[in-house]
């Protein structure tokens, strides 16, 4: 009679096993893209110094951090 009230361990497993790091990374990528579209990013050019200015813009940095988090979350 006592066993009837017990739940199987499988009942505690989440339906989708997604790392929280991946979810946060995807949200950062989405936020960076929305911010970039709302801000209207400008391109400085393709030279080495100009690429530094392109990557230094906050929405681009946010997308890069989000991509890094997704990569780290999926690597395990």
| Closest by Cα among 76, 74, 7 to 24 | 74
Q: What pLDDT does residue 47 have? A: 79
Contact of 19 with 67, CB cutoff 8 Å: no
What's the pTM value of the predicted model, to 2 decimals?
A: 0.67
Measured distance CA(15)–CA(11) in Å, rounded: 9
HSE (side-chain half, CA atoms, 13 Å) at 70: 13
The full DSSP string for 27-74 is HHHHHHHHHHHHHT-----SSHHHHHHHHTSHHHHHHHHHHHHHHHHH
Domain ranges of the chain: 19-74
pLDDT tens series, the chain, 76 aa = 555 666 666 666 666 677 888 999 999 999 998 988 887 777 777 777 877 777 778 888 999 999 999 999 887 5
């Amino acid at each position: 009679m006592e066993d009837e009230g017990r739940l199987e361990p499988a009942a505690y497993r989440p339906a989708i096993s997604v790392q929280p790091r991946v979810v946060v990374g995807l949200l950062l990528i989405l936020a960076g893209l929305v911010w970039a579209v709302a801000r209207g990013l400008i391109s400085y050019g393709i030279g080495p110094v100009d690429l530094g200015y392109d990557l230094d813009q906050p929405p681009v940095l946010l997308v890069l951090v989000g991509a890094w988090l997704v990569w780290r979350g999926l690597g395990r």
